Structure 1
Amino acid sequence: MLTSVSSVQFSLAVLFLTAIAFEMPAKAEPPRPNIVWIMSEDNSKHYLKHFDINGVATPAIESMAKHGVTFDRAFSNAPVCSTARSTLITGCYGPRIGTQYHRRSQFVPLPEGVEMFPVYLRDVGYYTTNNSKTDYNALIGEEPWDESSKKASWKNRPEPSTPFFHVETHGQSHEGQLHFNEAATENPTSFSQEDVHVPPYLPDTKLTRFTAAYYRDRISIIDSKVEQTLADLKAAGQLENTFVFYFGDHGGVLPRSKGYVFESGLHVPLVVRVPENYRDLTDRELGSRTNGFVSFIDFAPTVLNLAGVEPPESIDGTAFLGEGVSSVVVDTRDTTFSYSDRMDEKYDLVRAVRVGDWKYIRYFEAQYPNSLENEYRYNMLAYQQWRKMAAESNLTPEQLAFFRPRPVEALFDLSKDPDEVENLALSGEHGSRLMEMRKRLLDHLKSTNDLGFYPEAVFLREGRDNPVQFGVENSQKIAKYIDTANIALLPWDQATSPLIAAMNSGDPWVRYWAFCAASAKVASDPAARTSATLDDSLLKLASRQTLDSEPLVAARAVEFLAILGKVDPREVLNRCVKRSQDEVETLQILNIAAYFHANGDSDFPIDADALEFNFPIDPKGEIKRRLNHFANPPR
């Protein structure tokens, strides 16, 4: 028991300590790290020696790796700019939120509860800058950038102590850099044209070798940009306070890469330099490498986690660096999903999944060859030469495949076939693997309510105001459309009855996918084509549906009949264009016309002057690109 004196002393002591406590300032929050993204446009990991023996040396990027982490399996979820960047800025799968089209016909709003992630950094005091490319497919909600321009820089922050998030994009590696003329091909390249690697799916020509070597020279320029950024940070005393990411904004850029869900279009270089003052935010050794899968949906939550900001629950990605992230767990990640829809004027719905070294691709419009006309692609001389050689049949089967109808599904063992030229889908030896991968992708498409299974024009009319909610409300319909498209996976004798039932559906988009599945099946399978040609009931139904109330369904029906060689599709396609009141719908009808103009088994040249439109044509728009194509002889 305390004496009265000691009680007084105790009370005085408590009062004294309490007074001190009130006078002491609150413990300051530790400073947040700076974060810089350096993006190079349009290059896959294959052009950097740090990632691929056939690449060019990149000393600055390699120096980052020595003081950081190399992610050997990093992936864009989409093989083209606006779609990839929309994923980066939101952390969400494009087909779930309606940002999967390149480029958007209309902007879509951000999902409820999601802002472009630099907003969350600004909320905790970061100075956010972007120099300067955006190219998003979603509407900006709250402003994500303190400055977004060619003058934007972390150096302009209001106080030296203000943490910053800075993005810089370098276009010296962009696809447009390869739109040179014939005279330019006589110039020397620093990278040896004799030693440059030419993948087996491309013709090994002087032009291809020049293009491949010249592009590696562009990567050297990118490395010099990285070097300058690191030097600027060091000169300002900020290098060891800053996480620096270097990565490609998607794959590319030689033919059959950008725009395609092959590894050359998706597999990007990623190096993260770890600053000395924030080593505790990663449990990896400096200079280490990991095979754990990371993809663009993961970049936003990773930056937020490094900054000490809780990511929104409604995004799709998961952090791969920062507090609470175990490198052991990240190293076990082995899956990435990817998607490709419209690229400029070219429609082609493709989905893919990679698990470890296995890759599965589902071509939902397999009737279209990969070579289907895209005006911007064919500005490259290497593309033009490849197409000319294909027309002359002066190529190997691997090189000709780009210009032929595709299989409805493809399976690749990347450990043995990194160039994805040997399709194992028809191999009985890999049947169980095929079924496993097919189910993995199917479950993903349905669980994310993939909006690509609504034609773009229909989605914009009915779902644009709230894409995610539209997907949730129509999840059963989307699943039905996917199942209808997947009838193409059945043997023809098992596919006929469900196809006929679907072609008679009261839902126009079930009918739409039924005809698309039939076209994909017969274009890729000669036996199915023979059987379909002899089926009078199927042919009569398809013929009747060329008068369908929905122009897109009618166009799909005549596409099927024309692939079978039963009709000239041009009259019906012209009529569908004339009936359409919607520019986006019309563009998709013209996509079918473009297939027959140059790429079908039988050419049906389209007369642009015979097409009647219900709206003025934008002289710089996507429809104009198709009309330019029709003005030229079939190629």
Structure 2
Amino acid sequence: MNFRIIIIGLLTIVSLQSSCSMEKPTVPPNIVWITSEDNSKHYMSLFDENGVETPNIEKLADNGVIFNRAFSNAAVCSAARSTLIASCYGPRLASHYHRKMECIQLQDSMEMFPSYLRKAGYYTTNNAKEDYNIIKADNVWDNSSNKASWRNRKEGQPFFHVQNLNTTHEGCLHFTEDEYPTHKTKFNPDSCFVQPNHPQTDLFKYTNAFYRDRIVQMDEEVGDIINELKKDSLLDNTFIFYYGDHGGILPGSKGYLYETGLQVPLVVYIPKNYRHLIDLENGSMTNGFVSFVDFGATVLNLAGIEVPKNMDGKPFLGKGVSKKQLEDRDETYSYADRFDEKYDMVRAVRKGKFKYIRNYQPFNFDALMNNYRYKQLAYQEWRNLYDAGQLNDVQAAFFKPKQAEALYDVEVDPFETNNLALHPEFATKLAEMRTKLETWEMSMPDLSFYPEFYLLKNAIKDPASFGQAHKNELSRYFHIANLSLADFASVKSEIESYLKSTDPWDRYWALIVCSSFGEADSELISFAKEISKTDSELINKVRAAEFLGLIKAENPVQAISNALYKSTDGAEALLILNTIVMLQDGDQKYSFDLKVNKIQKEVLENKLVEQRLIYMQLL
């Protein structure tokens, strides 16, 4: 009798388990991305004490997960979106220059991640911004337009939909002096937090309030999209990701590898019918680090699609990802090179509470002119106050040459104003973070150790394979660049050897190292003078003259102007113009009397060159 009862009990348990498993959906979930432009986490109360309430995003969080440590890998639109769509790091693909002068091509075995969804039967739509620096294949979207919607799919077909909101885009702060402050903000400017590296002026307070108004408006638009999904009875079957596409638009954020330019808000709504895929509770939050390179891989994992091995990203949700695994993730990498017409080369890693920034060309001060960015009145006021000597040291740092290395404790110093790399007690941590970043850069490898114009000529059709084929050369350029981190006397002879190298990019980086040191060494000056006159590469003549100008050993104007006039490559000329503007606007205040009629026609056709010439009042 007891034996029979046990058998009946076991059969009942098996039946119940079978019944439960039958209730799991037999089709993969729908996935929606709601992407707001130019929002870091710092302006929403869900993430920061100085932020505003966003009730619709907060409602998503009630039935989902708040990610306190989510990051864009780049601090500007096209570089960030290229990382998202490829699920690969930008410097590996040369897809991180903003805006593109030419789209790069993915090799045959690499695809934009929505193409894998389409092959698996998904309906894929994007409404509407793309802004990729990568040639888009025909198999990525079923529809990418301002009319794209999940509603046009076949009955029962799972979908992946991206909805882009531009309400908070940087352009919203391009109001004029006539418009300010006639437009009254809903938020009281006097009660708005102004970060410590900004001037505490009425204009900065007003700009903060205006931006927060826009965030509230954006949140209402998020609510509209959620209501449309609800109307279509889709909420029980649809993951919803809300996130900002990179950092915010207050000065020194978008376009810079500071936390205000990189750390984004991220909330993921978990649908009732797919709770079994997620090892996190509704209404919970996680401090596990996730970044844009992981987003595409995560979508594929939620959809039950194997993540391709040539993707750099790793899933942070879905099958095989435990809560503990997510919480153990504690690092993110980021990169910056060209933003519109402005060049710099910066890499960063954050691990836990520490942030390490490597400025490869520290003489390119943060405030180097970018025409679009400086349409914002707050930027203009910041510059004017610096010129008038009315800023404190923290506020003025934006306009001065940088240190080659920076280390911050971002929990104590969230706006990265106290460089711990200058403190001997942090030497061990500095070395640890430096090694971590170096290992990542060389593992790709990082293509930016070639100038962009060289990559456009030689690598654009298959940059990833080009990087692998030239890994040894890139490793050597990387080594040369890092000589600037050593004691000058200990590496001086090595710098000299690279200045005499037959490889032009050895010479290129050796000259940048000279400028980074700023040492007026007589032997290096002699080498630089020779290179400025005889080098086979115009850009090396410029780098040599740049070094001589920075240390005031020789007026660089004629040598650099002549190189600009000889260039027939718009991208090369743009890099030369970057040096001209840096030497003109920096502390050296060199005066360039350029003649547009001497600049080659092919160069003048470059739209970004045009921006530089407009700024210099030559067009």
TM-score of the pair, normalised by structure 2: 0.94
Equivalent in 590, 595, 612 of residue 582 of structure 2: 595
Q: Deviation string for 1:337-358 (max 9, x for gaps)?
A: 0000011100100000000000
Q: Deviation string for 1:439-472 (max 9, x for gaps)?
A: 1111111111100110001111121121111101
Aligned to 1:549: 536
Aligned to 1:218: 214
Instruction: State the shift of 1:112 in Å.
Output: 3.6
Whichever residue aligns with residue 245 of structure 1, its letter is F
CA distance in 2: counterparts of 1:176 and 1:183, whole angstroms: 16
Identity fraction in percent = 46
After the TM superposition, which of the residue ranges 133-142 and 204-213 deviates more from structure 2?
A: 133-142
Aligned to 1:578: 565
Aligned to 2:365: 369
Are the counterparts in 1 of residues 87 and 296 from structure 2 also a CA contact under 8 Å? Answer: yes
- 2:567 equivalent to 1:608: no
Aligned to 2:168: 173
SS state at 2:382 partner: helix
Aligned to 1:320: 316
Equivalent in 415, 419, 422 of residue 423 of structure 1: 419
CA distance in 1: counterparts of 2:144 and 2:511, whole angstroms: 46
Q: Deviation string for 1:307-328 (max 9, x for gaps)?
A: 1111111000000111111111
Instruction: State the shift of 1:608 in Å.
Output: 3.4
SS state at 1:302 partner: helix
- 2:269 equivalent to 1:283: no
After the TM superposition, which residues 419-568 of structure 1 pair with which residues of structure 2 at under 5 Å, given as runs? 419-522=415-518, 532-533=519-520, 535-547=521-533, 548-568=535-555
SS state at 1:277 partner: helix
SS state at 2:189 partner: coil
- 2:608 equivalent to 1:622: yes
Instruction: State the shift of 1:577 in Å.
Output: 1.2
SS state at 1:347 partner: strand
- 2:330 equivalent to 1:334: yes
Q: Deviation string for 1:25-52 (max 9, x for gaps)?
A: xx99811111000000011000111000
RMSD between superposed Cα atoms in Å: 1.6
Are the counterparts in 2 of residues 598 and 605 from structure 1 also a CA contact under 8 Å? Answer: no
After the TM superposition, which residues 171-250 of structure 1 pair with which residues of structure 2 at under 5 Å, given as runs? 171-186=166-181, 187-250=183-246
Are the counterparts in 1 of residues 356 and 408 from structure 2 also a CA contact under 8 Å? Answer: yes
Equivalent in 146, 149, 156 of residue 153 of structure 1: 149
Instruction: State the shift of 1:632 in Å.
Output: 7.8
Aligned to 1:11: none
State how many pairs are aligned. Answer: 596
Q: Note closer, same or farther for the CA distance 1:632–1:603 as it changes in structure 2 (3 Å cut).
A: farther
CA distance in 2: counterparts of 1:333 and 1:235, whole angstroms: 37
Whichever residue aligns with residue 418 of structure 1, its letter is P
Q: Deviation string for 1:57-99 (max 9, x for gaps)?
A: 0000000001000000000000000000000001000000110
Whichever residue aligns with residue 161 of structure 2, its letter is H
Whichever residue aligns with residue 461 of structure 2, its letter is D
SS state at 1:185 partner: coil
Q: Deviation string for 1:548-568 (max 9, x for gaps)?
A: 110011100000000011122
Stretches of structure 2 that go unaligned for 5 or more consecutive residues are 1-22
Instruction: State the shift of 1:495 in Å.
Output: 2.9
SS state at 1:400 partner: helix
CA distance in 1: counterparts of 2:579 and 2:131, whole angstroms: 27
Aligned to 2:36: 40
Are the counterparts in 1 of residues 79 and 97 from structure 2 also a CA contact under 8 Å? Answer: yes
- 2:556 equivalent to 1:569: yes
CA distance in 1: counterparts of 2:177 and 2:256, whole angstroms: 26
CA distance in 1: counterparts of 2:440 and 2:27, whole angstroms: 39
TM-score of the pair, normalised by structure 1: 0.92
Whichever residue aligns with residue 526 of structure 2, its letter is K
- 2:440 equivalent to 1:412: no
CA distance in 2: counterparts of 1:50 and 1:124, whole angstroms: 36
CA distance in 2: counterparts of 1:144 and 1:617, whole angstroms: 34
Whichever residue aligns with residue 547 of structure 2, its letter is F
Q: Note closer, same or farther for the CA distance 1:618–1:222 as it changes in structure 2 (3 Å cut).
A: farther
Q: Deviation string for 1:82-137 (max 9, x for gaps)?
A: 00000000100000011010011111111342211111111111111100000000
Equivalent in 83, 91, 104 of residue 95 of structure 1: 91
Q: Note closer, same or farther for the CA distance 1:610–1:234 as it changes in structure 2 (3 Å cut).
A: closer
From the CA coordinates, give the structure whose radius of gyration is larger: 1
Q: Deviation string for 1:173-216 (max 9, x for gaps)?
A: 00000000123322221122111111111001000000011001
CA distance in 2: counterparts of 1:384 and 1:53, whole angstroms: 28
Instruction: State the shift of 1:615 in Å.
Output: 2.6
- 2:148 equivalent to 1:162: no
Instruction: State the shift of 1:283 in Å.
Output: 1.2
Are the counterparts in 1 of residues 185 and 210 from structure 2 also a CA contact under 8 Å? Answer: yes
- 2:331 equivalent to 1:345: no
Aligned to 1:526: none
CA distance in 2: counterparts of 1:632 and 1:618, whole angstroms: 11
Are the counterparts in 1 of residues 570 and 602 from structure 2 also a CA contact under 8 Å? Answer: no
Instruction: State the shift of 1:618 in Å.
Output: 5.2
SS state at 2:545 partner: helix
Whichever residue aligns with residue 396 of structure 2, its letter is L
Instruction: State the shift of 1:611 in Å.
Output: 6.6
CA distance in 1: counterparts of 2:378 and 2:24, whole angstroms: 59
Aligned to 2:380: 384
Aligned to 1:131: 127
